[in-house]
Amino acid sequence: MERAGTAVVRRMTDTPIPLAGAAATARQTGALVGVSIVSHGHGVLVQDLLQDLARHCAGEVGEVVLTLNLAEPALRQFVAQPSWPFTVTLLENPKPRSFGANHNQAFARLATPLFCVMNPDLRLHANPFAALRAALADADAGCAYPVQLDESGQRQDFERGLPTPWTLFRRVALRHKRSDGVDWVNGAFMLFKAEVYRRLGGFDERYRLYCEDVDICIRLQLGGYRMRPAPADVVHLAQRATGRQLSHLIWHVKSMLRLWCSGSYWRFLQRRIDR
């Protein structure tokens, strides 16, 4: 382990870390939010996001866990140099891990009461956390999320209804993107109450890159909690690879089939039908 200013570098092993051990193993901070960011060769984007967090969210964020899913010497050096207003813990995977596994291992190192999952391709032009924390004030609120805009300021389709074979066909083949209600939000920016995330067991690591966000939103609501939108904006520089790379298309199809075969999906669908 190496220390540089407020950066802590750890090289990871394949040993899993239990979510229940988070409070005992993480560094205690006075701030409320712990952030998890995963980089898969996103170097410059991550640098911009860390600087946005330092500029706008220093009083909210106590620690950022940055996971390098690939070796990125330049990003590693960047993180180690500045004196950040929060602790930056850098985790270096010996081999790439899934979206869920990376965020779960980050959560296991944090002790903050709020846990934020953030994509590396986000930009912040103001502090979104005050509005997000307010959205979580109710006892049954489990996860809050901001409005996601594209670079031109247009609202993205980050809120969606439960995916079914028909809605997927309608979306892909008929180009009909209007959602029937909001059952889940994409995983680009999600702020959880840490206790809720722990009770859910975090993300299901059997998914690979796709549908982890659908699954956790479904399980969260089945557990009696609510998804809460917040009046705060972030910019999401979304670049979807499903239509461009065959491997991503295969992962997407496998994840969708796993979701449709899960018990939580069918319980949630039945609950929708019964409304």
pLDDT digits (tens, 9 = 90+) for 131-140: 999 999 999 9
Q: What is the pLDDT, as a whole number, of residue 173?
A: 65
Higher pLDDT, 169 or 50: 50
How many domains does the structure of the chain reveal?
A: 1
State the pTM of this model: 0.88
Question: Which residue from 217, 198, 222 is spatially nearest to 207, judged by alpha carbons?
Answer: 217
Q: What is the pLDDT, as a whole number, of residue 242?
A: 43
Q: What is the pLDDT, as a whole number, of residue 211?
A: 94
- pLDDT per residue as tens digits for the range 80-115: 977 899 999 999 999 999 999 999 999 999 999 999
pLDDT band per the 50, 70, 90 thresholds, residue 166: confident
Calculate the CA 55 to chain-centre distance.
21
Q: What is the pLDDT, as a whole number, of residue 247?
A: 75
Calculate the CA 92 to chain-centre distance.
18
Higher pLDDT, 9 or 45: 45
Q: What is the pLDDT, as a whole number, of residue 31?
A: 86
Residues shown for the chain: 275
Residue 23 has pLDDT above 80, yes or no: no
The phi, psi pair for 256, rounded to 5°, reads -65, -40
pLDDT band per the 50, 70, 90 thresholds, residue 181: confident
What is d(CA 203, CA 223) in angstroms, rounded to the nearest whole number?
14
pLDDT band per the 50, 70, 90 thresholds, residue 252: confident
Q: What is the pLDDT, as a whole number, of residue 179?
A: 66
Q: What is the mean pLDDT of the chain?
A: 88
Residue 161 has pLDDT above 70, yes or no: yes
Residue 3 has pLDDT above 60, yes or no: no
Where is 194: in which H helix or E strand?
helix 194-200
**What is the chain's Cα-based Rg?**
18
pLDDT band per the 50, 70, 90 thresholds, residue 273: confident
Cα dihedral sign, 103-107-112-113 = positive
The domain containing residue 219 runs over which residues? 2-274
Number of Cβ within 10 Å of residue 201's Cβ equals: 13
Higher pLDDT, 206 or 246: 206
Residue 267 has pLDDT above 50, yes or no: yes
Of all residues in the chain, what percent carry a pLDDT higher than 90? Answer: 72
What is d(CA 40, CA 67) in angstroms, rounded to the nearest whole number?
9
What is d(CA 46, CA 229) in angstroms, rounded to the nearest whole number?
25
Q: What CATH number should be reported for the domain holding residue 200? A: 3.90.550.10
